[in-house]
Structure 1
Amino acid sequence: MIKLLALDMDGTLLNSQKQLTQPQIEAIHKAIEMGVKLVLCTGRMLPGVKPYFDQLGLDAENEYVIVNNGCSTHQTSDWKLIDWAELSPDEIRYLATFIPESEMQLTLFDEEHYYVLEDEPNEHSRTDAHLVFVEPTILSMENATNQSRHLFQAMYVGTKEATDAFESNYADLLRKDFDAVRSQDVLLEILPTGTNKASALKKLAEHLGILPEEIMAMGDANNDIEMLEFAGLSIAMGNASELVQSLADDVTDSNDCDGVAKAIYKHILQQ
């Protein structure tokens, strides 16, 4: 019996226009009425989640969201940060050493801010920040390393060509000290080692007394792979890559055809 539904957002719950459709909302409500707990698990930062959570129209008491690709978990009643992993000052300094050798920008995230380290935001940083309803802010190295804020994760952001070259040149080296994942063409995400959506979901499930086999997870991208492997029932979107689809227990319709709702009706509501 499924007790927890872990949902990625972009490419999964949201359609290509970054919209949450009514069929998706209705199916989620029906699952919750059966006692299933919903946990949004996303690479987005918190400001990019709150408007969609409000649109879902759920009772915020005792609900949770996992954001920043597993770096931070919030309870939705007051959006309090209840669990997190963060980059150390030394790790931030090290990540910055790769910038002069590339055409990329280094971005960093706390609970509310999308920071660009010591540089004017480029086109791709601005576009990515606007997707989560914030403006990018320039952050000095001094302020990034003074430990006055939690900086959960970093991203190298640039053109697709620059990101391809950066990943080819440096990803293997970075993966010796961090978890690195290419979730979009124009960015490479850098997480504290051992941190991903699955690590955060595992901690939350243990807190809630829910077993992995009682979890259904849905996603479409490389940053969903660990979560799909952790869950007892894994569902890939029809728009997911061949790799993600090959790892899942089932493949539903695409995010533009309400694939989440169809999977809920099939596997949870059994209709």
Structure 2
Amino acid sequence: MASDIQLIVLDIDGTLAGANNQVSKPVKQALAAAQQQGIAVAIATGRMYCAAVRFHQAIASSLPLLAYQGALIKDPRGGRVYRHSPLPRNLALTLLDELAPWETQQAISIHLYIDDQLHVRQILSETEAYAARSGIQPLAVGDLKQLLLQRPQLQTTKLLAQSPNPITVSQLLAALRPRYATNALYLTQSVQTFLEATSPMANKGAAVRYLAETLLQLRPQQVMAIGDNFNDLEMIQYAGIGIAMADAPLVVQQQADWVAPSVEADGVATAIEHFLLT
């Protein structure tokens, strides 16, 4: 029941933030009203931790931030790391080998996230666009596989393959998924042009479960989760009230309990008002 909700967990891109990359005033007001009723608010995002902190601050969250699809759970207030689930090194190296032909054909560019920094082979126009929206400075390091081989102490939090062509990303997913059991590697699509790979322990559903049950001693029925894409599916399925945004893929909408208006129509505010503020 909506009256049981004690925690709201929100995706950022396409949910909290739209084209202008900001949280709107109506959404902030709705979240503040929920917090005044004693409901905690958290963020679960595929973004880098450093690129998500400003949103955590914008909604005045008092909880740890779930970044990199949940691969890093860290509290911005004191810097405590609750959990870090890096991609196993052998899998990172294997994925780089498997993606190499696609990269050679310039069909994709590869991002490695290490120590909350973005490592790329070279700075491309799409890298610049990604960095501008994220507010980060990418590091051009040349051959990514050699970087990992020469510095075995490095831990890859996430690997992302970016392509301007959504069909390429779909083809990559179709090629990779049969090769890996779900308990060996988590593969998802956060937007049409991003394929993301993390540890099997790192998905938003597992991260929200850890936050709710381990840190807050809540039950799934006390959680509302709101997201807009495939990487939000697990937390939408986990939550007592799982909400998809109107722009979400149909399969995500079908798994949700309710579909909110789009991010540009302040769908998060509408959902909170509908379930929690009436």
Normalised by the length of structure 1, the TM-score is 0.90
Partner of 1:83: 83
Structure 1 residue matching 2:35: 3-state secondary structure: helix
Unaligned stretches of 5+ in structure 2?
Answer: none
Match of 1:131 among 127, 133, 150: 133
| CA pair 122-99 structure 1, distance change in 2 beyond 3 A | farther
Distance in 2, Cα, partners of 1:253 & 1:185: 20
Distance in 2, Cα, partners of 1:210 & 1:167: 34
* 1:7 partnered with 2:10: yes
Unaligned stretches of 5+ in structure 1?
Answer: none
CA shift for structure 1 position 87: 1.5
> Identity percentage over the alignment?
23
Partner of 1:24: 27
Distance in 1, Cα, partners of 2:6 & 2:124: 42
Match of 1:246 among 247, 254, 261: 254
1:72-221 superposed matches below 5 A:
72-102=72-102, 103-116=107-120, 119-139=121-141, 140-145=144-149, 146-160=151-165, 161-174=167-180, 177-206=184-213, 207-221=215-229
Q: Is the 8 A contact 2:42 2:56 kept in 1?
A: no
Structure 1 residue matching 2:172: 3-state secondary structure: helix
Q: Is the 8 A contact 1:174 1:180 kept in 2?
A: no
Name the stretch that deviates more: 153-162 or 190-199: 153-162
Opposite residue 157 of structure 1, the aligned amino acid is: Q
Distance in 2, Cα, partners of 1:260 & 1:79: 28
Distance in 2, Cα, partners of 1:173 & 1:104: 20
Cα offsets for 1:98-126 (capped at 9, x unmatched): 1332132321113431111xx21333233
Distance in 1, Cα, partners of 2:263 & 2:227: 10
CA shift for structure 1 position 174: 4.4
Opposite residue 21 of structure 1, the aligned amino acid is: S
The number of equivalent residue pairs is: 265
Structure 2 residue matching 1:184: 3-state secondary structure: coil
Cα offsets for 1:70-114 (capped at 9, x unmatched): 111111312332112102222221111113321323211134311
Cα offsets for 1:216-236 (capped at 9, x unmatched): 000110000000000011111
CA shift for structure 1 position 52: 2.1
CA shift for structure 1 position 143: 3.8
